Every structure is written in structure tokens, then in C-alpha cells.
A and B are shown apart, each in its own frame.
Chain A
């Protein structure tokens, strides 16, 4: 009896502690009051009908032991300028239930998942850009033992507040060799290999073209780490998939991505190469913009965060690109003559991307609808320069109170392709009609600790461009008044714009308040037209002027 009592007591303690349940929430709300700005937008082309646009979401996640469930409510009244206009109204856009027990992880409802780098499958969200291709269906992950994990997905993809009609199904297997051969770990060798297959189904009704209802794609990958070296390689193949993106050609698609890196304390080196050939993969063959992408083709360029450098971003060209990247990070050791008391960081990054080789078919056509499209030598670069970037930075902490960073950039930016969206086939027919902008930029950033826990951070930026946006200068001062309050003032002056009427200032003042996980920001000013990117995916942001408000918190 006593034993039973003790057992009951133990069980109740167990349930009180072991089955600890948690409920977490994220809330974000953004709004902008738009003001008519005749200098920025003389014709009023970008001025919205609504004076105030606002949107927000709340995500709830409940976890109870090995069970979890969640939902996200979204509201767009109406969607803010620069976000896809397909987001309209309100509703529950994401909900799921998941059980992760023993060797099984089962999710029903919405989920995000990626196979390898995502060359044939990646469902993900980028809320800051309004991107969300969450799957709605079933995902099963099972651990088969011996280091083998298998994932299966089945469902349809989110399209704003609805779903795409195409069905997506995929299977991925990953094998960690170290689980079977533990001696590898002793030799500091880690190896993982994986393979996946994804297929989509969309019924076709085209009166002329015989379009495939089912399109399959497969990919293989290997990830090897030996001592300080790491090597990741992935190859993907997709059968013929005529689509709006590729001009309804029947050529199969391929993608290759390989990265070799070396890391030791104080030194990191990375080199990567990539080739993409006709790899747009959507669950709707007629999809445009960012709608219903099944895969993700990561750009191999460095994403820049300084405002003027970020005006020249690179996004993957899904119909074909070839390029590479090299990066080196080095820390001059602390205490050395050059390194100073705290060490000095050096970084060099360079990347390039060109079009791929696209030759005529035997019948003398290239890129024609309903054909094989083109021929291509996989080892030859195409003639169109998409992007070149060489950037270097030095960061040094001089004392407890002062830290500084100097960064230099040199870009070649194909405005015709990257900003205007003209395709390579069009440019191949009219060589030399694209406009490549040469940009040299410098950014000097300083951080000074002031008394009473205050800090001042400043940025001075200059970007000289031989066309397009022209020359620009920027200054920024960010004053952290206390741990809870920050005020920032910045101005970009586009003094060298080719068009005289656009040689204007873009001032913005922001006040930010922090309280634990809560952040409230109020801004007032002028935002220039540009391309806003997160993680290599970009969207065009129209020019606007006004008062903005943003609240984000986690509970």
C-alpha cells in the first residue's frame, strides 16, 4: 500500500514536471500612414487609395511533452505597399498538430520542410517579404536506426489565403555514416549522404501543347567533414516541365552546388561553385512572382546589410546561371602588434554570376515554346554578365569604448536582368543591349560607448555608380539613450542621380523602444524605391513617405 502511495506520488510529480506544457506566442503588427509626397512621387502613381495600411499576425505554439500544435492568424487591412497584393483580408493561414514519439515524428496540417539545400523541395516562410509556401498535408519523419532518417511529405502549397491546385509529394532519405561506423568520428571524419525525390501533379488542359501532368525531380547530396575541412555537394535533376518561367520548353532542368570550406580558430575560408539550368519548379506551371515555388535555389553571393550596398542585390536566375564565390575571414590575433588588444578582423569576399551557355537547336531555334529550348555546354559560361562583387572589410576594437569597421565594395550589376527582369534569351537575340552598372562604395561604421550606459553608432556611406541610381551619400546616427530606448536618424542624398528631379534626400527618423521580448518602433520619413531582399529572395518596394509603426513581441 505504502509502495503504491509512493508510486502514485511519484507519478503525480512526474506528470507535474515531466509533462510540462508550454504555450508560446509571437505577435507582430505593422502599419503605415501614407503622406502625399510630390517630390518623391510627382504623379501620385504610388500613392495608395487607403491612407492607412496595416497588417499583422499572431503565432501560437503549444507544446505538451512529445505533442505540439500551433496556429497562425493573419490580418491584412489592407496589405502594405511592397508586399504581394494577394494577401487580402484575414484568416487562420497555418495550423498543425504534431506528435514526436519514439522513432516517429508525425505532423498533420501545415508544415515547413526542406530536403538538403532545397534544390528540389523547400517550403518556408519569410514574413518580412510576405513569402510563405507552407505545405498543407502530412509529413512523416522516421528514424530507421543505423543513422538512417526518412522523411515523407504529401500535400498542397499555400497561396495567400488559399492553396495551389497542384499536389506535391516527396520522399527524402538521409544516412549519417558515423552512426554505423563510430570509428570515423575518432578520425574526425563525419559523413552524411542523402537522396530525395519530389513529384508534383497538375492536370493540364492545353489545347496545343501536350503538357506533363506529373513532373518528377530527384536530388542527391553528400556532406563530408574531415578535421578542419568541410565539403557539401548537391546535384538535382528535373524532367521536362514546360512552364511560364521557362517559356514552355521541354528541356529537363539541372542544378549543381558545391562548397568547400576550411575552418580553424581565427581563420575561415570558403569556396563555392554553382550551375543552374532551367530549374524553376512550381506546383502551378503558370505561376509567377513568388507563387507556389516547390524548390529554392540559393544565390551564392553575399547578402549585404549596409543600406547603399543593399541597393544592388543579386537574386538567383532560375532559368540559368553559373557562378561562384570565395570568402576568407581572418582574425589578426589579440595582443599582436597588428591585432591590437582585442584582435582585428579582416574579411574578403568575391562572387560572380553569368548566364549559362544557350545554343541553337538543330532546327535553328532557341527558347521557342514547345521545343527542347536550347543546347548547352555545362562547362561553358554564357556571355551575359549578371553580377560581380568584390568586398573587403576591416573591423577593430580600439578600446573598451571605441570600435570601428571599414568596408569597401565594388559591384558590376546587370540592371537590365536584375532590376528590369529581362530574360537571357531576349538579350542573346540583341547582344549588348543590357546595361551593366559599375558601383564603388565605401562604408565607415563607428561605435562609441558614452557614459551612463549610452552608445552612439554612426555610419558614413558613399556609393558611386555610373548610371541607374547614380551617386549617393548617406549618414546615420543611432543613439542608444538607455537599454530601453534608441533613436536613429539617417539621410540618403541621391546627389548624382542621372535625372535632376530625382536628386533628392531620403531622411528617416526612428524611435525604438525595447522591453524584454517586446519591440516598438515608430518611424517618419521617406523610403526610396528599391529591391528589398531577405535570404536571397527579393521584392520590389515602391517609394513611399509617411509615418510607420511596428510592434513585435513574444509571450
Chain B
């Protein structure tokens, strides 16, 4: 009876601790505070975009950036399967300014991309994440830590990125 009481108290403490840890991990997760827009023109805070414990790719691009488009196109061939297998999310953040931002939605449609597309016309998220030029791609683990990044695209990199996503999902370390 007494031991049962102790076990249940210990369990409660453990649960509280775990809950506490889980809350704090949730807070640590994800992107910095920065105002961005979705394709419906609604404003949202980038920090509200969570990966739900799965790997997440954040790729900064623009409709006028050829290597960015090549990268997102090349990775798309892998993305369809990877999303199913690993739960990876891709956030494609367009830094198009007022000149070209209205082109983003029809452009994305023409490319038939299935990524989550957001607009960062005032470069809020771009500055907060330390992005100088596009393309700039980040890979975040399930806890929201940046585990890999590249400030370029060279053909073949999509394959490397796909392997890293698979490794992350399998709990293996990233080089």
C-alpha cells in the first residue's frame, strides 16, 4: 500500500517533469519570430510553423532565381516519397519583393509544387535566419535545431539532402 503510494507519487513527479520538458522543448522548436504571409495574403508568425517532431526543410528562393527553382524542382522528385516515409515538411520561403510577389502563386502552380509556400516580402525571416543570398536551404531536425545548411545549389545536392532527411528520420547523426 505504502510502496504503491510512493510509486504513484514518483510517477506523478516523472509525468510532471516530462510534461515540463515537453513544453520547454516545444517552445525551443522551430523558426524565429518573424512576420511572413501565406499565398492567401494572410499574415502569420513564422514561429507558429512547427514540424511536429519531423525533419523540416526551410528553403529561401525567388521567382527570378534560377538555381533556386532548379533546386526546388530537383528535390520535388524525392519529396513526394520522402514526405510519406519521413513526414518531412518543406517550407519554401519566397523573398520576392512587391515587383514579383504577386507572381509567386501562379508560378508555383505552373511548377506543380506541393511544398508549403510562404512570402517574406520585407525579408523579416530572411534577416532573422541570417540569409544573405538565395538559394539558402536549412535542414532542421525534429526539435527545430538547424543541422545542415547550404548557401547555393549545385545539381546533385537534392540527393544529398534526401539522404540527410532519411538519416534524421531514422535517428542517425548528420555529418
Q: Are A190 and B42 in contact (CB under 8 A)?
A: yes
- The distance from the CB of A553 to the nearest CB of chain B, in whole angstroms, is 8
Sample of 19 A–B contacts (CB below 8 Å): A14-B23, A14-B27, A20-B28, A25-B130, A26-B131, A63-B33, A114-B121, A118-B98, A174-B43, A261-B105, A268-B109, A298-B99, A298-B100, A331-B112, A347-B110, A455-B155, A516-B150, A516-B151, A517-B130
Closest 5 A-B residue pairs measured CB to CB?
Answer: A329-B110, A268-B106, A17-B24, A263-B109, A24-B130
Contact code string A19-49 (vs B, CB < 8 Å = 1, else 0): 0101011101000000000000000000000
Hey, which bits of chain A sit against chain B, CB under 8 A?
Answer: 2, 6, 9-10, 13-14, 16-18, 20, 22, 24-26, 28, 59, 61, 63, 66, 68, 70, 100, 105, 112-114, 116-118, 122, 124-125, 127, 141, 149, 174, 176, 178, 190, 192, 223, 225, 230, 232, 259, 261-270, 272, 296, 298-300, 303, 305, 327-331, 342-343, 345, 347, 447, 449, 453, 455, 457, 480, 483, 486, 514, 516-519, 535-536, 552-555
CB nearest to A405 among chain B residues: B66
Within 8 A of A (CB), among B57-76: 64-66, 70
- The distance from the CB of A469 to the nearest CB of chain B, in whole angstroms, is 22
Residue numbers in A under 8 Å from B99 (CB-CB): 298-300, 303, 535-536
Residue numbers in B under 8 Å from A262 (CB-CB): 106
Q: Are A261 and B106 in contact (CB under 8 A)?
A: yes
Residue numbers in A under 8 Å from B42 (CB-CB): 176, 178, 190, 192
The answer to the question of B152 belonging to the interface, with a C-beta cut-off of 8 Å to chain A, is yes
The answer to the question of B78 belonging to the interface, with a C-beta cut-off of 8 Å to chain A, is no
Q: Are A268 and B129 in contact (CB under 8 A)?
A: no
Q: How many residues of B contact A (CB 8 A)?
A: 58
- The distance from the CB of A96 to the nearest CB of chain B, in whole angstroms, is 10
The listed residue (A24, A457, A514) touching B151 by CB distance below 8 A is: A514
In the complex the two chains form, what is the Cα distance from A406 to B82 in whole Å? 31
The answer to the question of B81 belonging to the interface, with a C-beta cut-off of 8 Å to chain A, is no
- The distance from the CB of B42 to the nearest CB of chain A, in whole angstroms, is 6
The listed residue (A223, A327, A345) touching B103 by CB distance below 8 A is: A327
Q: Are A124 and B155 in contact (CB under 8 A)?
A: no
Interchain pairs with CB closer than 8 A, number: 200
The answer to the question of B7 belonging to the interface, with a C-beta cut-off of 8 Å to chain A, is no
Q: Are A13 and B21 in contact (CB under 8 A)?
A: yes
Within 8 A of A (CB), among B14-53: 16-17, 20-21, 23-25, 27-28, 32-33, 35, 39-43
Residue numbers in A under 8 Å from B151 (CB-CB): 514, 516-519, 552-554
- The distance from the CB of A89 to the nearest CB of chain B, in whole angstroms, is 22
The answer to the question of B160 belonging to the interface, with a C-beta cut-off of 8 Å to chain A, is yes
Residue numbers in A under 8 Å from B33 (CB-CB): 63, 66, 68, 100
Contact code string B144-164 (vs A, CB < 8 Å = 1, else 0): 000011111011110010000
Residue numbers in B under 8 Å from A24 (CB-CB): 128-130
Residue numbers in A under 8 Å from B172 (CB-CB): none
Residue numbers in B under 8 Å from A232 (CB-CB): 41, 102
The listed residue (A149, A174, A330, A486) touching B154 by CB distance below 8 A is: A486
The answer to the question of B86 belonging to the interface, with a C-beta cut-off of 8 Å to chain A, is no
The listed residue (B23, B109, B130, B136) touching A61 by CB distance below 8 A is: B130
Q: Are B40 and A190 in contact (CB under 8 A)?
A: yes
Given contacts A61-B127, A105-B35, A455-B155, could you give 17 more A-B pairs where the C-beta distance is less than 8 Å? A6-B17, A14-B27, A26-B130, A26-B132, A59-B130, A68-B32, A117-B98, A124-B122, A268-B110, A272-B102, A298-B98, A299-B99, A455-B154, A483-B156, A516-B149, A519-B152, A552-B151
Known: A63-B33, A296-B98, A455-B156. A268 touches B149 (CB 8 A): no
Residue numbers in A under 8 Å from B106 (CB-CB): 261-263, 268-270, 327, 329
In the complex the two chains form, what is the Cα distance from A117 to B152 in whole Å? 28
Residue numbers in A under 8 Å from B160 (CB-CB): 483
Q: Are A554 and B122 in contact (CB under 8 A)?
A: no
Known: A268-B107, A552-B132. A514 touches B24 (CB 8 A): no
Q: Are A192 and B21 in contact (CB under 8 A)?
A: no
Q: Are B132 and A554 in contact (CB under 8 A)?
A: yes
In the complex the two chains form, what is the Cα distance from A26 to B123 in whole Å? 14
In the complex the two chains form, what is the Cα distance from A124 to B120 in whole Å? 13
The answer to the question of B108 belonging to the interface, with a C-beta cut-off of 8 Å to chain A, is yes
Q: Are A447 and B64 in contact (CB under 8 A)?
A: no
In the complex the two chains form, what is the Cα distance from A61 to B149 in whole Å? 18
Known: A10-B17, A232-B102. A480 touches B155 (CB 8 A): yes
Known: A13-B21, A13-B24, A449-B156. A28 touches B132 (CB 8 A): yes
CB nearest to A447 among chain B residues: B155
Known: A455-B155, A480-B156. A331 touches B111 (CB 8 A): yes
In the complex the two chains form, what is the Cα distance from A265 to B113 in whole Å? 8
CB nearest to A400 among chain B residues: B77
